[in-house]
Amino acid sequence: TAGHADVDSATPFAPKTHVRVASITKTFVAAAILQLVTERRVDLDAPVDTYLPGVIRGDGIDGTTITVRQLLRHQSGLPEYFDDDTQPPTSPVSPRELLSWALAKPVLYPPTPVPVYTNTNYIVAGLILEAVTGRPAAEEITRRIITPLGLTGTYFPDPGDTWVRAPMAHGYEVADGGREDVTAGEPSGEYMAGSLISTGEDITAFITALMDGHVVAPAELAQMMDTVDWPLHGPGFGYGLGLTSIELGCDVTAWGHGGDLAGYHSIMAVVPGRPAVSATFTQASPDVTSIADDPRFAVLTAVYCPV
């Protein structure tokens, strides 16, 4: 670890520092769904309507034509529930309300082999998890994954809990030479697309356990690792079921997931047989998601492809 968790107080960033890990949440959600596949309670190739009958309907949108696999691999064509014209909620919202924002828009495209990443897919995945288990998705993931792995720094904040537990890293947006603290945020606006809070220590332990076969069964891990090319994200990227493959410049492939939320830009990754890596940048400029300039991938290259 390096840097400051709080710029003003110069508090050092540590392995147990809590951060918002944003879309890394998706890997936890996918893993829980894959556990249900092992239990024969979910079929990856069943229509979404099997689990949420009549719910996924809209302009060109039909839950009878979208499979669970397509949701988890961002191949559904569902529109993004957030866009540049949507203000993040400042008070609790329900997952169904988030979904309604997406369903008010036309379909992006019919289900397709090419992943087009939208957070709506994992709003729906969370609702499937709840429909099948009869429990809140956060509770089910905690019961199935977080607690068994001993991830004591990892939790889903309750709706309305807008802060981050101590010890925590503040998130900052940097633009036009200024710095704004954007740590506070209403977590229900992200739901199963990105509300998880964790630590570097915990997400490193999680991706290690996942890839070592301690979270999902071998057959289901193979399904998670069954990627398709993800050209819209950049060359060398593939997307599986809540899991990304990243071809590094030294002929090795890392597996993991990234996460972006205001003030927090994270990654967890592992090359099989080697130690896992996690990193969170909390003072990144808005262009951090430019792949060529993204410091997260520079970290992976430095670790796994040393000169």
The reported pLDDT for the residue numbered 15 is: 84
What is the distance between the alpha carbons of residues 61 and 67, in angstroms, rounded to a whole number?
A: 12
Reported as a pLDDT band with limits 50, 70 and 90, residue 185 is: very high
Question: Taking the chain, what is the end-to-end CA distance rounded to the nearest angstrom?
Answer: 21
List pLDDT tens digits, range 34-85: 999 999 999 999 999 999 999 999 999 999 999 999 999 999 999 999 887 7
Mean pLDDT, residues 199-225 taken together: 98
Reported as a pLDDT band with limits 50, 70 and 90, residue 295 is: confident
Contact 240, 227 (CB under 8 A): yes
Q: How many CA atoms lie within 13 A of 47 on its CB side?
A: 13
Residue 286 pLDDT more than 70?
no
The reported pLDDT for the residue numbered 3 is: 58
Mean pLDDT, residues 106-124 taken together: 92
Residue 251 pLDDT more than 50?
yes
List pLDDT tens digits, range 16-31: 999 999 999 999 999 9
12 vs 142, residue with greater confidence: 142
The reported pLDDT for the residue numbered 229 is: 92
Structure-token match 């998130």, residue found? 171
Q: Which domains does the chain have, with CATH numbers?
A: 4-304 (3.40.710.10)
Active-site positions read: 23
Q: What six digits make up the tokens of 16?
A: 């147990």
Q: What mean pLDDT value characterizes the chain?
A: 92
- Would you put residue 74 in left (φ > 0), alpha (ψ -120 to 50) or beta? left
State the DSSP string of 97-129: HHHHHHHTS--SSSS-SS----THHHHHHHHHH
The reported pLDDT for the residue numbered 284 is: 67
Residue 113 pLDDT more than 50?
yes
Residue 1 pLDDT more than 60?
no
Beta bridge partners of 198: 19
The reported pLDDT for the residue numbered 288 is: 47
